[in-house]
């Protein structure tokens, strides 16, 4: 009899395990502003290989595209300038020892170098950071956490997510729109003002880019956060910038809601004639544009549908808010 009681108690403790409680506000400041984004990578990312003396040496069979160089010898490297200096200091018999990270594992490898006219060549293409533009989705006025993009930033050559060492969002101004056409997604071009920083980036995840808003919080209208069950098919709108720094509202129509996909939760079509005339459809740089329905924020634009660029996908805003809260 005692054994049965113990089994029941154990089962009940599992059934009533505490659920996470999110601290995000029920009302948040909606963005729509065009922003510059810069991330300094954790480690130096290997993005490819180049020919030395007419052939690809691939530097070392132990090094792969997507690896992150963390150390040369015993010294950490955080920039390409660091990497160059440390290779010169640690070079022995045309070889240096590297510590790299691959798929969350730390590995020690040897990197052979080739002397070409007195200059040592690694055979590696590397990158220590990435810059671009996007659209600010929200600022939580209580926690000062911001979210943007609604998807991860990856380095295009290696298709590797950029791990954040440091990063920032800052002022930018749209200079040109390249229209989308079916089969080819257009883009926003912008002038970047690295000096006017709005916030610090702390993480780059599948669900967006997040950090702490350090500038003065805008005194804009707050929108109620809608849960996924509140979202309806039909009319909605997006907030985005097409010229200079002016945020404008454009009509869309929600045609599908998918709770089973991680980020492609909302399928929509642009029905705003002005937006279609200006952009041809969803364009790069529009990622993060807030989606509003019945005076509530429901999500953010994430992707164009390449074969039908007047249509796109969005992520639930609650997914972004929950991700922004995580340590």
Q: With left for phi above 0 and alpha for psi between -120 and 50, is residue 81 left, alpha or beta?
A: alpha
Contact in structure between 297 and 226 (CB atoms under 8 Å): yes
303 is catalytic: no
Q: What is the DSSP string of 289-321?
A: -EEEETTEEEEEEEEE-TTSTTEEEEEEHHHHH
In the residue annotation, 307 being an active-site residue is answered as no
Of 60, 95, 93, 100, give the one whose Cα is nearest residue 76: 100
- Of 38, 79, 237, 272, which residue is the catalytic one? 272
Q: For the purposes of burial, counting CB atoms within 10 Å of the CB of 11, is it exposed (0-12), middle (13-18) or buried (19 or more)? A: exposed
Catalytic residue, from 287, 289, 303, 310: name it: 287
Sorted by sequence, the CB contacts under 8 Å of residue 325 that are 6+ apart come out as: 22, 23, 24, 143, 145
What is the β-pairing status of strands 68-72 and 34-49?
A: antiparallel
Q: Spot the catalytic one: 67, 140, 151, 289.
A: 151
Active site residue 272: yes
Please name the residue that has the structure tokens 């790299």. 100
Query: Looking at 140-183, which runs of residues are DSSP E strands?
Result: 145-148, 154-155, 160-161, 164-178
- Give the catalytic positions in this structure: 151, 272, 287
């Amino acid at each position: 009899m005692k054994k049965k009681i113990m089994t029941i108690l154990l089962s009940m403790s599992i059934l009533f395990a505490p659920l996470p409680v999110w601290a995000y506000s029920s009302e948040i400041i909606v963005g729509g502003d065009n922003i510059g984004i810069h991330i300094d990578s954790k480690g130096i990312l290997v993005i490819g290989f180049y020919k030395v003396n007419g052939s690809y040496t691939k530097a070392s069979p132990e090094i792969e595209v997507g690896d992150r160089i963390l150390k040369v010898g015993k010294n950490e490297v955080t920039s390409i300038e660091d990497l160059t200096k440390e290779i010169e200091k640690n070079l022995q018999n045309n070889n240096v020892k590297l510590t790299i990270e691959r798929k969350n594992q730390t590995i020690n490898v040897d990197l052979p170098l080739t002397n070409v006219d007195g200059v040592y060549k690694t055979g590696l293409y590397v990158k220590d950071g990435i810059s671009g533009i996007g659209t600010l989705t929200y600022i939580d006025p209580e926690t000062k956490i911001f979210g943007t993009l609604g998807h991860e930033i990856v380095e295009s050559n290696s298709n590797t997510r950029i791990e954040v060492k440091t990063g920032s969002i800052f002022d930018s101004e749209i200079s040109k729109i390249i229209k989308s056409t079916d089969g080819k997604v257009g883009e926003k071009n912008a002038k970047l003002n690295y000096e006017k920083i709005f916030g610090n980036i702390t993480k780059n995840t599948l669900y967006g880019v997040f950090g702490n808003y350090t500038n003065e919080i805008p005194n804009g209208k707050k929108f109620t956060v809608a849960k996924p069950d509140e979202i309806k098919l039909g009319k909605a709108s997006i907030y985005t910038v097409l010229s200079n720094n002016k945020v404008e509202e454009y009509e869309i129509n929600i045609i599908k809601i998918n709770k089973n996909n991680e980020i492609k939760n909302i399928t929509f079509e642009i029905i705003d004639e002005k937006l279609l005339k200006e952009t041809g459809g969803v364009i790069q740089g529009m990622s993060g544009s807030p989606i509003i329905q019945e005076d509530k924020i429901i999500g953010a634009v994430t992707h164009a549908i390449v074969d039908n660029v007047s249509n796109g996908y969005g992520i639930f805003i609650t997914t972004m808010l929950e991700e922004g809260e995580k340590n």
